[in-house]
Amino acid sequence: MAEDWAYFEGDYVPISKANVSIRTHALNYGTGCFEGIRGYWNAEHEQIYLFRVREHFERLHRSARALRMSLKLSLDELMEIAVNVVARNGFQTDVYVRPVVYKSGAIIGLSMVRREGGKTIFLPDDFFLFAAPLGDYLDLDEPIKCCISTWQRIDDNVMPARTKATGLYLNSSLAKTEAEENGFDEGIMLTGDGHVSEGSGENLFIVRDGVLITPTLADNILEGITRSTLIQLAKDELGVDTVERQIDRSELYVADELFLCGTGAQVAAVGEVDHRTIADGNAGPITSQLMKLYFDIVKGKNPKYADWCTAVYTTEVAAAST
């Protein structure tokens, strides 16, 4: 079987050739940042559409800036690389694209800078991108079960919470692992002052009295692209407003509807939190309508939002996969 392609050290290479040294700073200290982008296979169009790929690369640039990392590739160059890697692999399925900026220096020591001749020199950065087939990350057939995590969401004064820093994901990984070990699908993390922040890899919404409510950007959440997509769709397509405000833990228990959203998770209804059934335990009306809208749009089936979908195959799929 032909090997998958990746982009590594400025070139397209077979993925088995895309390897880093065990001395890499990012591997030892978590000094990297990344994105997760979904591509949806539309069999009718024989096409894969990358969803809001520009916005993902804008966030990657913002993460890199906040973390003192240098990403020299422009948005257009990054988009071209993402398209090329998916197209070269010839996928005909839903995929996940993973770009990473990382401190590539092979240096022991925490600092990302060193002083030389009175000058401050930054450790070198590099960039790689790979893609892989990915189905549903959370169950979409029936509402999922969540717990409140015993792990607090990282505070913005501990690590920049609005970035997708690789090191930051130890926090998420511990919360997700704890939830699954205890028989739940997902863990919801609270802020240091006890308000709802987000899932281990998803933003969170509740519905109360026909209004959507979601934690503010100051509640240590990632500035989610799905979150802002759904806020816009709710307003423009359903006439439902979203209030961004703090949410208490117990407000989750009494919500009319609750769902998590993210690139990986997509839109996932939550039927239970800490063993309390949310409303009647089924996906509520606003959640269901948002799910339907979202899945049509990401698969390239809604022309109104075609701008959000970047086609991967410019020539025929058969040609691209040879």
Report, in Å, the least distance between residue 177 CB and ligand PMP: 14
Report, in Å, the least distance between residue 272 CB and ligand PMP: 20
* 281 alpha-carbon distance from chain centroid: 26
Report, in Å, the least distance between residue 11 CB and ligand PMP: 27
Q: Which residues bind ligand PMP (CB under 6 A)?
A: 36, 172, 198, 201-203, 222, 224-227, 262-263
Q: Report whether 283 contacts 267 (CB < 8 A).
A: no
Tokens of 279: 């409303």
164 noted as active-site residue: yes
Amino acid identity for residue 178 in this structure: E
Tokens of 18: 């895309």
By the 10 Å C-beta count (0-12 exposed, 13-18 middle, 19+ buried), 159 is classed as middle
What b/e readout covers 255-287, taking b as 16+ CB neighbours within 10 angstroms?
Answer: bbbbbbbbbbbbbbbbbbbeeeebeeeebbebb
Q: Which is catalytic among the residues 164, 235, 299, 304?
A: 164
* 209 alpha-carbon distance from chain centroid: 29
Residue with smaller CB distance to ligand PMP, 202 or 272:
202
Residue with smaller CB distance to ligand PMP, 104 or 200:
200
Report, in Å, the least distance between residue 266 CB and ligand PMP: 9
d(CA 265, CA 176): 13
Residue with smaller CB distance to ligand PMP, 227 or 299:
227
Residue with smaller CB distance to ligand PMP, 24 or 149:
149
Catalytically annotated residues: 164
